[in-house]
Structure 1
Amino acid sequence: MGLGIIGWIVIGIAAGWLAEQVMGRNHGLLTNLIVGVIGALLGGFIASNLLGIAVGGFNLITLLVAFLGACLLLFLVGLIKRRG
């Protein structure tokens, strides 16, 4: 069963906030939500297409994949900002 919009928001905010803490950034709630949701999409794509791990539903694995994707996103954005 997939996540509804409320599930995406909860996972997104949690993943974005956790990534913000680990990566040493300081964003607001909306930015954490955006980073978390995009990170969830990025992490889900990597997990399913490159690693063959099925991710879905409202559980700890989904949060972990979203968190790792959000960290990767913040890392890549940091690299781009340094170059520019």
Structure 2
Amino acid sequence: MGIESLLIFLLIGAIAGWLAGLIVSGFGFGLLGNIIVGIIGAFVAGFVLPALGIQIGGGILGSIIHATIGAVLLLFVVKIVKKA
């Protein structure tokens, strides 16, 4: 993986984590936290969406949408667990 790929990977994670924090109210993690939430969200969506038969287009925008969906699911589960 080249430096450009790594930077794009981190940028997509940061954007996805930030968007998920806006969608799921009450969550704000800062830059590093957003990157981590976005990357974990991408992995979550990588398992959940294909299992549901959902495909999202390619490219950077598709990757951001994919990671954001997974991050929203992750934050939703975290929010439920925190209340319990």
Partner residue of 2:64? 63
CA RMSD of aligned residues (A): 2.0
**TM-score using structure 2 length:** 0.81
Give, as a single letter, the amino acid of the residue that structure 1 aligns with 2:61: L
Provide the aligned length of Structure 1 versus Structure 2: 80
Return the offset for 1:4.
Answer: 2.6
In structure 1, stretches of 5+ residues that fail to align are none
Q: Percent identity?
A: 39
Partner residue of 1:17? 18
In structure 2, stretches of 5+ residues that fail to align are none
**TM-score using structure 1 length:** 0.81
**Could you tell me how far apart the structure 1 residues matched to 2:20 and 2:63 are?**
14
Partner residue of 1:43? 45
**Which 4+ residue blocks in structure 1 deviate beyond 6 angstroms?**
none
